[in-house]
Amino acid sequence: MSCVQELVGLDQISSDFEDAGVKLMAVCVDAPSESRKVVKKNDLSFPILADEAREAIKAYGLVHAGEGPKGTDVAIPAHVLIGPDRKILWRHVSRRIQDRLSPKDVLEHVRGAAG
């Protein structure tokens, strides 16, 4: 599953996340203009936050150092449920870029952690 497929899948069940009291957001290291294109092209109901400086992914330990183009740092695919107090309630970090949970699996984990 690609990143965009994953985002579209999450969007398709976004009302289920809302019912669980969860606000969906994606974080991407791409430029804001690229994120806006993805949101618009796929008619996503949630924002993609730009983290070009990689501050958020570093803060949550989601950096794959030196594995990007020309040795740049890239984000490790992950799902993170952050509580109102900014503490992590649940997280899933992929071992490889191809390893992604299905949106329904994410929702079940979120329901369990948020409940």
**113 domain residue, yes or no:** no
Q: Which two tokens stand for residue 13?
A: 């069940």
**112 domain residue, yes or no:** no
**103 domain residue, yes or no:** yes
Can you give the CATH number for the domain in which 44 is found? Answer: 3.40.30.10
pTM for this model (two decimals):
0.84
- List beta partners, residue 79: 92
**26 domain residue, yes or no:** yes
Element (H, E) at 108: helix 103-114
Q: Which two tokens stand for residue 73?
A: 């740092």
Can you give the residue range of the structural domain that contains 52? 3-107
Mean pLDDT for each consecutive 10-residue tract of the chain (115 residues)? 87 93 90 94 95 89 85 86 88 84 92 81
**96 domain residue, yes or no:** yes
Residue 115: its pLDDT value, please?
66
Q: Give Cα 89 distance to the centre of its chain.
A: 15
Number of domains in the chain: 1
